[in-house]
Structure formats: structure tokens, C-alpha cells
Structure 1
Amino acid sequence: MELLLLSSSTKYAGRLLGHALGAVTGLLAGRERLLFVPYARRDHDGYTAAVHSALSPLGVQVEGVHRSADPVAAVHEADAVFVGGGNTFRLLSALHRQGLVTAIRKVVGAGTPYMGASAGTNVACPSLRTSNDMPIVQPSSFDALGLVPFQINPHYQDPEPTSTRMGETRQQRITEFLEDNSVPVLGMRDGAWLRVSGERAELGGTEGARLFTRGADPTEVPVGRDLSRLLKTEARYDVD
């Protein structure tokens, strides 16, 4: 598989995909037609136009899957697939409704490059259980694409030691997830991404990540770290 899983599509004060344009260029080398999946946001046309503008310097033709009369056929005909960010529950609900979960799994498994950002990275995991989003709609299933066998938490934020906020931190929420599931969770800060090529996975970007595993303290993951071992994860959900 060829995957580029971004924590975010934009960094603060930056332009869409600007911080990751080099990585995007590498993923899409030799590919002319990119199928964009905008279902995580309500304005499909506006979102697709923004991605087209961001990628036009690469000479890539961006097409929105929502404009296709047959979305499944569009996935099979695409040179690459990009699933954008927004609300993960809305996104996964649409993917199931359109029959695209199976279609995307099949083409990506056969070699079609996949890029995800935020919600698009969430759904590359086996489940959306580590999303930060509010469940504004109810998908038919929490089962996602499963392109990687572990979980990712995009937009990961470190606890603030001096904060007086009483709500749970991301670390606390991931710890709660691991109380009931035995699956590694990679908390990627904004500016970080995971590049998967075949059997190799490496953290890239401008920011690092934290890796959470059941029964252990979280560990810091610097940019450039080889995370290929995570591709051999045997995930277990709903464990005692």
C-alpha cells in the first residue's frame, strides 16, 4: 500500500496542504487524476475547489466523487484517492451509504495511492473510535477502511500542566479507549503525517507524535522514526 495519512490538511496561518506539499508530490508522482472525497464537510463543491486550487501546481486533475453518477466506479477508475477532513461520523456514514468502504479498500490494496487528512486519516484505521469529533450523525457501523491495523488520533494535543480546564485531555480519552481495547494509538500533532509504503511506515512532517499502548506509559515519537512494526499490529477491540 501507498498511504499518506496527515494529522491535518493545514497548519496554523498556512495554506491548504502547504506544509505537506513535498510529501503529497512524492505520493502522487506519475498520477494524473486524483479522486477527492469531500463527504466530511457539507459544502462538497467548495471543498473540492479548494483542493483543486492547492494541487493545481502539481499538474494533478482533481475530481470530486460527489459529482460522479457511479461513485464506486469512480473509485476504481481513479489514479489516487484523497479523503478530506471534517466530521468523521458524517464522513464514515457517507462512505458506508455510497458503498465506498469496500471499494476504497480494494483499490488501495491493489496499489492505488491513498491520502487522508484528519477525518480521512481517522477512517484509514479499523474504527473511528479514536476520533475527536462529535457524533452529529450515526453511521451504520463504526467499522472503517482498515488500511492500517492500528488507531490514529489526529490533531493530538499534549496536556497543559498549568491549565485549569476541567474537561478530559486527549491523553485521558485515549487512556479510556485503551481500558476497553488493546490497539496501539498514534497521537499525531498537527504538522505530522504517517507515510506508509509497502511494509514500511515512517513518521514525517514538522511535529512529532505520541504512541499509546495498553498497560504502558505513552512514548514520544520523533519525526523520522520508523514505525513499521505497527503494521503488524494484532488489534483487539472490546476486550476485558
Structure 2
Amino acid sequence: MNTYSMVKMSQRQLFLMSSSAVHGYEYLQHAQSDISSFLKKNNVSKVLFIPYALTNHDSYTEKVGKVLKRWGFECEGIHSSPNPVRAVNEAQAIYIGGGNTFLLLKTLYDQGLVELIRIRVLNHAVPYVGSSAGTNVATRSIHTTNDMPIVYPPSFSALALVPFNINPHYLDPEVGGTHKGETREERLIQFHELNDAPVLGLREGSTLLVDGEKATLIGTRPARLFYRGSEPEEFEVGADLSFLLKG
């Protein structure tokens, strides 16, 4: 491993949620304690929110900002800045919300932010919070998103903050269900017919917390890990998933 890789792995701070909305909780409430601890640990008082996964940027930023403000953090939408590149360069923390992953990634490319965000997070230890689509783009590629391709980004390659893929909103087949369409598990097995990257299926309420070279499953639900040519594995909350960071 070269020095550059060692620096990146030792500095990255990632909080990758399956979803911001979980049944039985208000918006983001399921992760309130963990997000607050994550931001405070990294001395964050103001968050740069990137609402590109939805089209109404003002409304989306207001929704997230109201919650963060109640928790004691300021929030600014990147779209309100006349210079998005400068906003990322000056950000204490970056939070990318959910919505449509294809729209999100295309807009990040259009704004020239993909490589910049990667550098800020991996080389300058800027904390990164992702939810749903924001978690998808934090990985190697968006090939394992559940979203419809409503726009066409120039590449499916994403921020590559971790060297594997994630499938947010992972769903288990309904016991006794009558639906005969492909299950999420079957879709991910099909992905592995042509791809080698491991895929971590995050169920609603689960989060992957990355602190340098350590990755831990936190939240309220177990996760399911898929490897090419192997049976899926279950990991309970609290599991050490640091081996996934070795690429």
C-alpha cells in the first residue's frame, strides 16, 4: 500500500445510512444520536447539504435544515452558493441526501464535484453523511441502486469513498408472499454475474460508520453482504466490517 492510500484510509469519516425515513420515527430521528455524535466528534457546527437527488432544492434543504437546527447544527444548501466548488472546499461536513441516484450523480458530474468531494473527504478528513442515494454515490459505482435511470450521467462510477458497493433499502422476500418478480437478492446476484465488487445490503434503520480504517454496522437492523460466487452473509448490529475497506 502506498503512502497516499494510507493517508486516505486513516482520515476518512463516513456515516452511510440506508434511509433518512424509517417506520415509527420522525424524519432522521432513528439516527439522531449517532449523527449528532458523529458531527460533534469531528468538530462540525455547520453542514453543507447537497440536495441534487431531488429537483426542489430549496424545499429539500429546508426539510433537512430544520432537523439539524433542532440538534444544534447549522445547514446550508450548496445550491444557494454562487460557487459550488468553493462551497465544497470550505465545507466543515458534507451531507448528500436521498432521491434519484442517477439525477444526483449526473448533477455532481455537471458541477465538477465528483473528484473534488473525493479529495476533500479522503485527503482532508471532511466528514461525509449519506442517505439512500447519497450513500449509493459514496461507493464505487451506482450499479446497485434501486432507482430508475431518469437521466443519464456520464459515468456510473461514483465517489469511491469505499472500495465496494452498497444497496440501500435492502428488502428481504416477504414470507408467504405471492409476488413472483425478482427479489432484491436475485438482482444483486445478477450484478455479480458481471461484477466483482462486494455489495452490502443495508436494511432500513442500518448505517455503516467508517472511521479511518475501521467500519462498523450501527443502527437498528442487521445487514446482508453479497460476494460473487458465495452465499450471502448476515451481520448483526455492532459487527466489524473493516475487512471491506481493504478493497
**Structure-1-length-normalised TM-score:** 0.95
Q: Report percent identity of matched pairs.
A: 52
1:201 aligns with 2:212: no
1:90 aligns with 2:103: yes
Within the candidate set 140, 144, 147, 1:126 is matched to: 140
In 1, distance between residues paired with 2:57 and 2:118? 22
In structure 1, the partner of 2:21 is 10
Give the residue type in structure 1 aligned to 2:49: F
Structure 1, residues 79-104: CA drift from partner, whole Å, max 9, x if none?
Answer: 00000000000000000000110111
**Structure-2-length-normalised TM-score:** 0.93
Structure 1, residues 140-197: CA drift from partner, whole Å, max 9, x if none?
Answer: 1111000000000000001124222122110000000011111110000000000000
SS of the equivalent of 2:33 reads helix
Within the candidate set 16, 19, 22, 2:30 is matched to: 19
SS of the equivalent of 2:14 reads strand
Aligned residues: 233
1:188 aligns with 2:202: yes
1:103 aligns with 2:116: yes
Q: Which range moved further: 177-186 or 160-169?
A: 160-169
SS of the equivalent of 1:89 reads helix
Q: How is 1:108-187 mapped onto 2 (pairs within 5 angstroms)? A: 108-109=121-122, 110-187=124-201
In 1, distance between residues paired with 2:86 and 2:26? 31
Structure 1, residues 123-149: CA drift from partner, whole Å, max 9, x if none?
Answer: 000100000000000001111000000
In 2, distance between residues paired with 1:101 and 1:73? 14
In 1, distance between residues paired with 2:142 and 2:221? 23
Structure 1, residues 22-47: CA drift from partner, whole Å, max 9, x if none?
Answer: 11112211211100000001111011
Q: Which range moved further: 10-19 or 121-130?
A: 10-19
Kindly report structure 1 stretches of 4+ aligned residues shifted beyond 4 Å.
Answer: none
SS of the equivalent of 1:179 reads coil
In 1, distance between residues paired with 2:38 and 2:85? 22
Q: Which range moved further: 44-53 or 24-33?
A: 24-33
In 2, distance between residues paired with 1:16 and 1:225? 25
Give the residue type in structure 1 aligned to 2:79: H
Structure 1, residues 197-234: CA drift from partner, whole Å, max 9, x if none?
Answer: 0100000000111000011100111000000000002x
The RMSD of aligned alpha carbons is 0.8
Q: Which range moved further: 160-169 or 64-73?
A: 160-169
1:59 aligns with 2:69: no
Gap runs ≥5 in structure 2: 1-11
Within the candidate set 85, 88, 107, 1:72 is matched to: 85
Give the residue type in structure 2 aligned to 1:111: A
In structure 2, the partner of 1:226 is 240
In 1, distance between residues paired with 2:72 and 2:233? 39
